[in-house]
Amino acid sequence: MLERFTDEARWAVTHSQDEARALRAERIEPVHVLLALTREPGRAGQLLRDAGLDHDRLRDAVVRSGPLDADALAAVGIDLDQVRAATEAAFGPGALDRGRRSPSGHIPFADAGKQVLVETVRLVGRRHLGRIDAGHLLFGVLTVADPQVSRLLQQLGVDLDALREQAAGADAA
Amino acid sequence: MASPTDVTTAAAADDPDTGLRAIRALRDLADRLEVLQVGNARSRGWSWQQIADALGVSKQAVHKKHATSRRDR
């Protein structure tokens, strides 16, 4: 299947694993594919950057939306932002929110991550296109409507449906 | 997000749902900080025994929890 991907799309798939590894995730989720796409130099990456989704902003939002329950901690007098700031001062950016997985070795796709690839290929199949590019991959991410991605985009003020239409767009018809 | 000085959120800690959520959040936070600090101690040459003593647990417990995911067992 990957032989039908353009270089940029293949690059994005490979770098999804790097994004997952950097965030110490157990599996590659749609959000990791999205992070990789924000760095893609072509049309898909540009669409994301134009929508205000540059890599660092998105990554920051991913890290901050992590499982630590800020409201529950605040109820007992702990300011998570302060704890985070102190931890990052000592141990570097993202130190508090990173997962436990050690940063080496192959990381498999989560079911949702695999579903991204399925949707991408499905779109391309419907249109009888030969090559699968990064824009199609972005469409795949946005079609799966993974709850984490949906929540993040809403948080960052991005209209998912509009973005999805644009991603399906340019090569269109 | 609620601020720690907000009286109403402090009162909300009387509600077991919030209280238990807080316990869970404290545990998650403590776990993460523990991983960072154990790593920190190891990188400064602390022995597993010294780390266990500082944490108030057995050497076996700390070794089991941390050594298996680190390369410096």
- Which residues of B are less than 8 Å from A91 in CB distance? 36, 40
Q: What is the pLDDT of residue B41?
A: 95
Q: How many other C-beta atoms are found inside a 10 Å radius of the C-beta of residue A134?
A: 29
In this prediction, residues B3-31 reach a mean pLDDT of: 70
- Which residues of B are less than 8 Å from A90 in CB distance? 36, 40
Nearest C-alpha neighbor of A65 from the set A148, A160, A159: A148
In this prediction, residues B42-70 reach a mean pLDDT of: 91
Q: What percent of chain B has pLDDT over 90?
A: 42
d(CA A160, CA A151): 10
In this prediction, residues B58-71 reach a mean pLDDT of: 83
pTM metric for this prediction? 0.65
Mean pLDDT computed over every residue of chain B: 80
Q: Give residue-wise pLDDT tens across range A95-126.
A: 887 765 555 678 889 999 999 999 999 888 88
Q: What is the pLDDT of residue B18?
A: 72
Q: Check CB contact under 8 Å for B3 and A79.
A: yes
